[in-house]
């Protein structure tokens, strides 16, 4: 007996689930249409008629006639109205009138030249634009060619030179390397790499805290109105200081 070659720990075994490689057909991917029912019925078989169940129909009204809501005039018969001759008062009908000229619309005094012979008369008016006899161009309509410069016609011109601006290509200022200059770099702030200097700001003036309520002034008080705690306000009268009948005190000083 020949010695078996070791091929590893794997051995043939039954798979735990279905594997697509074990089937030669597409499997249950394609479903056969059913032969029962109405929806998706197979076209190779006859399909029986299908009926659906619907709810109960709506009840119709018991009376479909309009009823006595139409009030028919009793004087109207099948042959017309059963009435006597009746007349109504209406306004006058508007008749269409044509406006005709009156005697004041005519001017017989202006028909003298058309009825009787008259001498020819001429009037001076502006030239009309519709009819022009002199439709030929005038001297100002022609433009003679120039005789100076490079654009002369029928004559020989001298060579002319033009002064042109300096070209940017090939000049001494042409940057062949296309490198940025010193002005192409932005200047870095000094405070980024060194100590930052103190900065001061100007703010509004700070008001000290205090009471901003309105206080009464001297004119807001009425000292003469003291009748709430006194019988009356003080009154002042003008009179003499001493009585006329009192003998004055005279002291003789020797």
Q: What is the DSSP letter of 183?
A: G
Give dist(CA 55, CA 57) in Å, integer. 6
What count of other Cβ atoms lies within 10 Å of the Cβ of residue 41? 16
pLDDT band at residue 237 using 50, 70 and 90 as cut-offs: confident
Give dist(CA 188, CA 196) in Å, integer. 13
175 vs 132, more confident: 175
The residue among 99, 123, 105 whose CA lies nearest residue 113 is 123
Q: Characterise 199 by phi-psi region: left (phi > 0), alpha (psi -120 to 50), beta (else).
A: beta
pLDDT tens-digit series, residues 100-148: 888 888 888 888 777 888 788 777 877 767 655 667 777 888 888 888 8
Q: Which of 29-43, 59-73, 105-119, 169-183 has the lowest mean pLDDT?
A: 59-73
Contact 35, 41 (CB under 8 A): yes
Residue 233, pLDDT > 60, answer yes
What is the per-residue pLDDT for 244? 67
State the Cα angle at 63 between 60 and 67, rounded to 5°: 140
Summarize the chain as % helix, strand, coil (round to 5).
Answer: 10, 0, 90
233, 238, 242, 244 alpha-carbon torsion, rounded to 10°: -130
Q: Which of 16-25, 60-69, 89-98 has the lowest mean pLDDT?
A: 60-69
Give dist(CA 114, CA 106) in Å, integer. 15
What is the per-residue pLDDT for 198? 85
pLDDT band at residue 1 using 50, 70 and 90 as cut-offs: very low
State the alpha helices, DSSP H only, in 111-226.
Answer: 112-115, 190-193
- For the entire predicted model, the pTM comes to 0.15
Q: Characterise 146 by phi-psi region: left (phi > 0), alpha (psi -120 to 50), beta (else).
A: beta
Residue 184's φ and ψ, nearest 5 degrees, are -80, -15
Handedness of CA 144, 149, 153, 155 (dihedral sign): positive
State the Cα angle at 178 between 174 and 179, rounded to 5°: 120
């Amino acid at each position: 007996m020949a010695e078996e070659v070791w091929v590893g720990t794997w051995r043939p075994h039954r798979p735990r689930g279905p594997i697509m490689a074990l089937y030669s057909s597409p499997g249950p991917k394609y479903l056969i249409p059913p032969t029962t029912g109405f929806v998706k019925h197979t076209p190779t078989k006859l399909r029986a008629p299908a009926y659906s169940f619907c709810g109960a129909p709506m009840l119709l009204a018991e009376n479909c006639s309009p009823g006595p809501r139409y009030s028919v005039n009793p004087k109207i018969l099948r042959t017309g109205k059963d009435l006597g001759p009746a007349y109504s008062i209406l306004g006058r009908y508007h008749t269409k009138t044509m406006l005709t000229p009156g005697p004041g619309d005519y001017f017989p005094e202006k028909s003298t030249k058309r009825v009787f012979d008259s001498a020819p008369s001429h009037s001076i008016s502006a030239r009309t634009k519709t009819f022009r006899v002199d439709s030929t161009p005038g001297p100002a309509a022609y433009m003679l060619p120039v005789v100076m410069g490079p654009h002369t016609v029928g004559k020989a011109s001298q060579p002319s030179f033009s002064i042109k601006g300096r070209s940017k290509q090939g000049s001494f200022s042409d940057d062949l390397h296309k490198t940025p200059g010193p002005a192409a770099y932005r200047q870095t702030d000094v405070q980024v790499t060194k100590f930052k200097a103190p900065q001061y700001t100007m703010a509004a003036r700070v008001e000290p805290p205090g009471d901003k309520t309105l206080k009464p002034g001297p004119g807001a008080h009425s000292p003469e109105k003291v009748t709430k705690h006194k019988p009356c306000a003080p009154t002042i009268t003008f009179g003499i200081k001493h009585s006329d009948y009192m003998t004055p005190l005279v002291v003789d000083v020797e």
